[in-house]
Amino acid sequence: MSTRDLLVEIGTEELPPKSLKKLSEAFTAGVKSGLDASELTFTDIKSFASPRRLAVVVSDLSESQPDKNVERRGPALQAAYGEDGCPTKAALGFASSCGVKVEELDKLETNKGSWLVFRSEQKGQATADLIPNIVADSLDKLPIPKRMRWGDLDSQFVRPVHWAVLLFGDSVIDAEILSVKTGRETYGHRFHSPDAITIPAAAEYEVLLESNGKVVADFYRRKQTVKAQIEQAAIKLNGKAVINEALLEEVTSMVEWPSAVAGNFEQRFLDVPQEALISTMSTNQKYFHLLDDKGRLMPHFITVSNIESKNPTMVQEGNERVIRPRFADAEFFWNQDRKSRLDAHLESLKSVVFQKKLGTVYDKTRRVMQLAGFIAKQLNGNESEAIRAAELCKCDLMTEMVGEFPNLQGVMGRYYAQHDKESADVAIALDDYYRPRFAGDKLPENLVSQSVALADRIDTLVGIFAIGQIPTGDKDPYALRRAALGVLRILIEKNLDLDLRELLQHSAHSFEKSIDSNSAIEPVNEFILDRLKAYYKDKSIRPDVLDAVISIKPSRPCDIDARIQAVTTFRDLAEAESLAAANKRIGNILKKVESSLPDQVDATVFVEAEEIALFDELSKLAAAVSPLLKSGQYSEALTQLAGLRSPIDNFFDKVMVMADDMKLRNNRIALLNQLHSLFMQVADISRLQG
């Protein structure tokens, strides 16, 4: 089959830098999906993306769909012909709908009967006829939160569209895309090559755009170019550029012809906390900062220009002029904030509403202080330092620096606490308690930080649930899911032996009486524990293992984790499947007992050797595993309990539990109840799947 290359390019005004890569990948995926659905074959598909374009090149695309053999079944032969052998109305109607005469129809014989059938060959559609709809569908499905109109046109897109290229080999596919007539003319760099560029054939697109248009259209190649230029510029300054991946991709999305330029700033600005300087450089100006060989911030930056200037010094000086007043502002805020102590801002927290029904940030601070102190005491930590850290943890929100740079909350709290001579753990906690800020983030390190981190999140969870603003669907304005997962991670990964329900109860008691906070305890507990599904899924723990542990309702997350690790190890044992099945059988038997379950076993009542053997082995193992269970050594306990497999199997093979003799029956039920209770001290292993 003949093939040609296909080029699709949508030329726009500057696309949102943070969305460019995502839009490009989605567009390419949409085109590929459309080609696959149309049964059009190709050897490769490549995406291109720059600030002013989304493009796709498909290599060796078939010129048409394959022809198909179509078979359409009609009426059964019995209904197709009358007793006189003439076609019935059913046969005539079917033939007419197929555009043929009855005698041109075939017969289909199967073991279920015979039918009239129409067979034909359906010619595949030309690719050029299919492409416009495939492109339109792909554009419609792009992840664009808010589309815009431009001019008096009805079309909507993320940015106004100025040109569209649709080339199949060397031929233009005539169509209209987003109100723009397709052609073979593209446009290069806005300044270096503003005139139209004619593309002779799809395969020449990338090379021609770069050589004539000064545009590196391949996003990933452009990204590597940007990175290499930044690293080279840093070497010339005897430093190392800190290249954040997100910033690198954003900068790559802002340039078509990258040119790295280094700049400098005054040494005195390095007296300002480096996080403020870095935030200004990366967030506001999209600059990359440099570190020396000792990891200290250097008075230089690297920016990536979208033009190759004949006078790069002017570009450098222009960027230096822009950054200087921002640094001067940060310097001013730093000096002003240190004129008063951090705790001087406590009073002003009374004027900031946390949540209308839950009071001010000051009210929340008082609640967090109580809970943080309680947590620290439970962990044998420094209660007074936890209370002090909780008291100060929101104060930096009222500083000039955080007012200008909101992303520095916590960071500046740490600096100001250090300046005020607060203890090291308190100062660290003011920044550390925000962790984890995102999935995979580090956790707070010391007990003071952990106490405040837990208290702040739990207070929010209990309070928001108490006023009925429970997350639904994708709506979670208070980030309660993230808060719940943070609580679990801290408790589990820092091995904090705390009772979650007890923490929730203590938190609930700190709210005003007008808030029915006690009603939130169980829902919040369930909400937090429900996050374990996602947490353990990421760790490749099987759902049935989690179910086996959660079903017995342990209340300490670090204890839950110990049980899960033990059950995961246990289910790999040869005895696991048999013991799980036996426990399920035991559970079913115990459910059928109408009266209260007997738990006292009288060894003198047994008559069968197998029940005596099981009782003896159970008694011996119960004594051995009891201290293991008390100390949380669940894996060791389950490993020893695996030794019950043979006695249990023999018991069920030879012994009738529901004997007619009630005394004997109750004694056997008591034996099974003891056995079941022993396993249930770790998990309900009957829930394990094979």
Kindly list the domain boundaries of the chain, sorted by start residue.
3-65+126-213, 68-122, 219-336, 344-540, 567-687
Query: Could you tell me how far CA 559 lies from the centroid of its own chain?
Result: 26
Mean pLDDT (whole number) for 12-23:
96
pLDDT range class, residue 102, cuts 50, 70, 90: confident
Mean pLDDT (whole number) for 471-486:
91
Q: Where are the alpha helices (DSSP H) in 311-435?
A: 312-337, 361-378, 383-392, 400-404, 411-419, 424-432
Single pTM value for the model: 0.82
Q: Answer yes or no: are the C-beta atoms of 51 and 17 closer than 8 Å.
A: yes
CATH fold group of domain 567-687: Isoleucyl-tRNA Synthetase; Domain 1 (1.10.730)
In angstroms, the CA 652 to CA 16 distance is 69
pLDDT reported for residue 664? 86
pLDDT reported for residue 68? 82
Mean pLDDT (whole number) for 64-90:
85
Q: Of 667, 647, 652, whose CA–CA distance to 607 is shortest?
A: 667
What pLDDT, in 10s, does the model give residues 181-215? 999 999 999 999 999 999 999 999 999 999 999 99
pLDDT reported for residue 512? 92
Q: Mean pLDDT score of the chain, rounded to an integer?
A: 93
Mean pLDDT (whole number) for 509-528:
94
What are 457's two structure tokens? 């999140």
Four-residue CA torsion sign, 652, 655, 656, 662: negative
pLDDT at 607 over 90: no
Answer yes or no: same fold for 3-65+126-213 and 567-687. no
pLDDT reported for residue 594? 64
pLDDT reported for residue 473? 80
pLDDT range class, residue 520, cuts 50, 70, 90: very high
pLDDT reported for residue 421? 97
Q: Of 176, 100, 185, 69, whose CA–CA distance to 132 is shortest?
A: 176
Tell me the CATH number for domain 3-65+126-213: 3.30.70.260
Q: Count other C-beta atoms under 10 Å from residue 122's C-beta.
A: 11
pLDDT above 90: percentage of residues in the chain = 74
pLDDT at 303 over 70: yes
What are 150's two structure tokens? 């431009």
CATH class held by domain 344-540: mainly alpha
What pLDDT, in 10s, does the model give residues 437-451? 988 899 999 999 999
pLDDT range class, residue 70, cuts 50, 70, 90: confident
pLDDT reported for residue 1? 66
